[in-house]
Structure 1
């Protein structure tokens, strides 16, 4: 059996705001944007990094039919506190990527720093998700 990661979920309060951040600022591509009337208007919205068509992030609003309203509010509170786990994005030049992303308004929590495995920096999206920007040696 061979398992491969295809999708990772990102809880967001507003899909349009998330879509603008991930495409305009991070350069992600829209993979799917489908509204399903049979599921109460649920919007399946995925984005992903260029050159990696088999990897997508689901920009999901935590509300019915996905989760109940109370749980959705709790999820968004945890995300806002940075408790959603973390994601790593690789780059060939962390310092240059840092400068480019910072210039378009991406909020960095840590500046690029050399570590035993390479150079990395940490940023967050407008909702609280944390991302490490990593250049390995």
Structure 2
């Protein structure tokens, strides 16, 4: 059955991206393997406590000028990824304490609680606790 295996996120530097995602957001490093034929690394991460076969984010280092231009703006200024949580207050407080920059404060909507933060490159993310339906 088809499913999303990875979502590519263009980054400037693997280690810089890993420091943010694993160090500040607590993501898990799934794989970091050097690919000598292409002189790149295959680096995948997933949110903390995600199931082992959950979709991962592939940190893809920009290798062309066109790719470099997209760093931090892959969604044209819109939120690109949605990080669901089971405890908004806990994770919002932990991310703020870790120095994550929230560009929109917490708000409550019919669908749940949400705040928008930016990653190390400026990509926008929703931290969201969905309301029970």
TM-score category (smaller protein): 0.7 to 0.9
Alpha-carbon RMSD = 1.8
Q: Is residue 8–residue 58 contact of structure 1 (8 Å, CA) maintained in 2?
A: yes
Query: How many residues end up aligned between the 2 structures?
Result: 129
Out of 98, 101, 104, the position equivalent to 2:95 is 101
TM-score, length-scaled by structure 1: 0.85
CA distance in 2, matches of 1:89, 1:28: 11
Deviation of 1:83 (Å): 3.4
Please name the residue that 1:66 is paired with. none
**Structure 2 residues not aligned, in runs of 5+:** none
CA distance in 2, matches of 1:45, 1:130: 21
Residue 77 and residue 121 in structure 1: after superposition, are their counterparts in 2 closer, same or farther (change >3 A)?
A: closer
Higher relative helix content: 1
CA distance in 1, matches of 2:58, 2:43: 6
1:1-137 counterparts in 2 under 5 A? 2-39=1-38, 41-49=39-47, 50-54=49-53, 55-63=55-63, 69-76=64-71, 78-79=73-74, 83=77, 85-137=79-131
CA distance in 1, matches of 2:102, 2:36: 38
